[in-house]
Chain A
Amino acid sequence: MTDATSRRPPDEAAVRRAVAAVWRIESAHVVATLTRMSGDFDLAEELAQEAFVEALEQWPRQGVPRNGGAWLTTTAKRRLIDTWRRRERLDERYRALARDLEQQADAPGYDPDRIDDDVLRLVFTACHPVLSREARVALTLRVVGGLTTEEIARAFVVPVATVQQRIVRAKKTLGAAHVPFAVPERDEFADRLGSVLGVLYLIFNEAHSASSGEELLRPELGREALRLARMVAELVPGEPEAHGLVALMEFTAARFPARVTADGAPVLLADQDRSRWDRSAIARGRAALARADATGRGRGAYGLQAAIAECHDVAASVDDTDWERIVLLYEALGRIAPSPVVELNRAVAVSMAEGPATALRMVDDLAASGALRATHLLPSVRGELLARLGRGDEARAEFLEAAARCGNLRERAVLERKAAEAVTA
């Protein structure tokens, strides 16, 4: 490892990995600090990247500095001064900064409160509503999470050039819209925090059930979303929904170890080996939910979904699950965040609590309303209910319809198997 550099000549690959690790931990701070100083997010991101490249060049020769984050920040600040110099804008701001930098030498003052504040501004900037959802996702992973463009491309199964383009365009859009580098004012705070949490949940869901490709799970991406959600929750500790989202992710991630077989096929909730669920993740989920409740502001949509996930996670089996409670939680969720998917899930819970006949009526109403026409969810639930009612032929048709609509190859295989089983049953 890198500390062995004092004894052995530096192993370049090891130093590269060490630089990448420091980058992962510090890039958000560096970009945030530079954006505050320059008022230019695009420039700040570029300078931070240049500092990173410089670290890759220098650290293998000079060794990894004791405070890598400070090194990166200082290097990026120097480049900022050079940029200003080139632009011949020798204003007082520059002079003050240069003086400041000379005094600090290589150990810039560390003000954790200011850094937190800057990182929070960065999070809100990367998730700004003027950007498309894809752009928010890419920008958040890149500038807040410190992932490389290649890593993001790999996670979302898109070409590197596409991600690059999204990031460049996103930065231009932010610049053109004169998006301020600021934590939103009180009156729009809730909406903007909602956008931030939404982006993180989107990233997590991509890991949880990939919308395309062959891999069902992308655990690394899920962990990254969880890390960022924990980070945001610590930055805004008084916001119940931030903790609710952390809880929801923990409860969901707890089931990851049992969600696929050794050869990668998905395992349905009812068939999962619950002993493989991650108990410590469940404990952390409950702690996060308790923190959400402790704010005294009630549970929001994420808190309620977390509570539903908790019901599953603490049950010894599907039969042992408190389905009545889940039905009530879905009703509450449907009131504050109505959506056809919530209704569909409520129908599934009702089918477990009261039987498939009542649930089928709910699902038929949903179908009649024309909702969820494009996804495989509705026919797949309908197929399940029909199968339980002994209407095998109809069930088969629904499962085949669901399979045809399903983009994930692994999930499609499960639906096709169910279609085959529906007639034999």
Chain B
Amino acid sequence: MKYMLIMRADERAVEAYKDIPFDEVIARMGAYNEQLMKAGVMVGGEGLSEADEGFVVDFDADPPLVTDGPYGEVKELFNGFWILEVSSKEEAAEWAKRCPLGPGSKLEVRRVTGEDDFPADNEWIQKESEWREQLGTN
């Protein structure tokens, strides 16, 4: 089963990270990623750039309002993710606990849905399958 580890950090974590040399941050994350690779459980993952390069689409407005970052109101930022293929929820938790993050950070761990989670006879699910097909074989 696949799990997504979603990295979230609040201002406290962002501030704390400013005191750690960037090389060290990279080295710690690199060592963690290497462990995941060497255990054969990592199947994907990306980091996300600074919040000021992002933007927000707010559905309180109609039509939805697009505003520039930074996310003034948002306390926790989504900085990146890993997708792991593991044998149990507990194994996902064990890997998540080993992530080199400090106070102010959280890892949200979510199971990635597969096709089995959706009704195979649904018209839209079938359509999505076709779209995936077209995207994948272009």
Contact = CB atoms under 8 A, between A and B. Distances in A.
A25 B97 CA distance: 13
Contact of A316 (B37, B38, B41, B133): B133
Interface string A214-237: 000000100110111111001100
Interface in B108-138: 114-115, 120, 129-130, 132-133, 135-137
A279 B37 contact: no
Nearest to B136: A279
Contact of A275 (B39, B41, B130): B130
B88 A228 contact: no
A273 B129 contact: yes
A280 B43 contact: yes
A314 to B, nearest CB: 6
Interface string A256-287: 01000010000000000111110110101000
| Range, interface on chain B | 20 to 34
A21 B115 contact: no
Nearest to A20: B90
A235 B40 CA distance: 10
B31 to A, nearest CB: 7
A316 B137 CA distance: 7
A3 interface: yes
A146 B132 CA distance: 36
A235 B137 contact: no
Contact of B37 (A20, A229, A234, A262): A234
B85 A231 contact: no
B79 interface: no
B40 A282 contact: no
Nearest to A234: B38
Given A1-B89, A21-B91, A112-B31, A227 B39 contact: yes
Contacts of A22: 94
B108 to A, nearest CB: 13
A79 interface: no
Contacts of A315: 137
B114 A257 contact: yes
A412 interface: no
Nearest to B120: A262
A280 B85 CA distance: 12
Contact of B94 (A21, A275, A277): A21
B25 interface: no
B38 A231 contact: yes
Contacts of A154: none
Contacts of A228: 40
Residue in B39, B95, B130 whose Cβ sees the most chain A Cβ within 10 Å:
B39
Interface string A78-113: 000000000000000000000000000000000010
A196 B95 CA distance: 26
Given A227-B39, A231-B40, A273-B129, A68 B94 contact: yes
Contact of A279 (B35, B120, B132): B132
Contacts of A229: 40
Contacts of B91: 21, 24-25
A308 interface: no
A133 B40 CA distance: 23
B4 to A, nearest CB: 12
Contacts of A223: 85, 87
Given A284-B43, A314-B137, 13 more contacts: A18-B94, A20-B88, A20-B90, A21-B93, A24-B87, A25-B91, A227-B40, A229-B40, A231-B39, A231-B40, A234-B38, A273-B129, A279-B132
Interface of B: 31, 34-35, 37-41, 43-44, 85, 87-91, 93-95, 97, 114-115, 120, 129-130, 132-133, 135-137
Interface of A: 1-3, 14, 17-18, 20-22, 24-25, 66, 68, 112, 116, 220, 223-224, 226-231, 234-235, 257, 262, 273-277, 279-280, 282, 284, 314-316
The 9 A-B pairs of least Cβ separation, nearest first, read A230-B40, A275-B129, A21-B90, A227-B40, A275-B133, A231-B40, A21-B91, A279-B136, A17-B90
